[in-house]
């Protein structure tokens, strides 16, 4: 006899740009749709690169979604029969996303998030670090470094053909026009504070 388990948890898919985070999120959504789950798909309103009303992967996979400007907006769309809340570009949401996700999971809803774990500087991005510690399940994806072919875990921002400056704004929505995947050793940021060995 199967034991009934409690529903409601947080899972998060992270990595650099072009690692396939949105594609993995869409894959999970499709599996859950096949299982007749009621799924609320949300994306950060700031992300309008490929569509205004869909989450879309760089490779062209798409799923209808609702835009949310702030984390608490998500709650407006949750219904009594919602089984799953899937959120793309989670790094763009405010700190309330933590409370929203905890509340949803505590109330029996499966929460699936996808987002960048590091900004262009290579530093932790927004609310993602805390969500990583609160999630029951974490999937970290990597891409392929365009310079050397090693596993890429960082997002290289390029402005006018040059690496971005450390003091540039953290958020600049873009795709291959401004970003590429890089490994630790090929990732570059102008004027990044560093400590040299032996100093």
Which residues are part of the catalytic machinery?
Answer: 89
Q: What is the DSSP letter of 35?
A: T
What gap in Å lies between CA 8 and CA 76, rounded to an integer? 19
The pair of three-digit structure tokens given for residue 72, joined into one six-digit string = 């608490």
Tokens 């700031």, located at residue: 46
Angle at CA of residue 91, ends 172 and 46, nearest 5°: 50
- Say how many Å lie between the first and final Cα of the chain, rounded: 64
What gap in Å lies between CA 100 and CA 111, rounded to an integer? 10
What gap in Å lies between CA 24 and CA 40, rounded to an integer? 16
Centre a 10 Å sphere on the Cβ of residue 184 and count the other Cβ atoms it contains: 12
What gap in Å lies between CA 135 and CA 117, rounded to an integer? 13
């Amino acid at each position: 006899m199967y034991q009934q388990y409690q529903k409601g948890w947080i899972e998060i898919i992270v990595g650099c740009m072009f690692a396939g985070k949105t594609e993995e999120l869409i894959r999970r959504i499709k599996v859950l749709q096949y299982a007749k789950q009621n799924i609320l798909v949300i994306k950060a309103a700031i992300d309008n690169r490929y569509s205004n009303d869909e989450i879309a992967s760089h490779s062209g996979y798409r799923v209808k979604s609702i835009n949310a400007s702030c984390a608490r907006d998500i709650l407006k769309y949750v219904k009594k029969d919602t089984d799953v809340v899937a959120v793309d570009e989670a790094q763009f949401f405010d700190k309330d996303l933590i409370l929203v996700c905890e509340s949803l999971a505590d109330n029996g809803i499966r929460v699936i998030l996808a987002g960048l774990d590091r900004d262009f500087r290579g530093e932790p991005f927004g609310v993602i670090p805390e969500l990583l510690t609160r999630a029951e399940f974490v999937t970290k994806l990597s891409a392929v470094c365009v310079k050397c072919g090693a596993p890429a875990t960082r997002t290289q921002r390029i402005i006018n053909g040059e690496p971005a400056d450390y003091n540039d704004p953290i958020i600049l929505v873009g795709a291959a026009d401004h970003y590429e995947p890089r490994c630790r050793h090929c990732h570059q940021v102008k004027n990044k504070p560093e400590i040299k060995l032996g100093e």
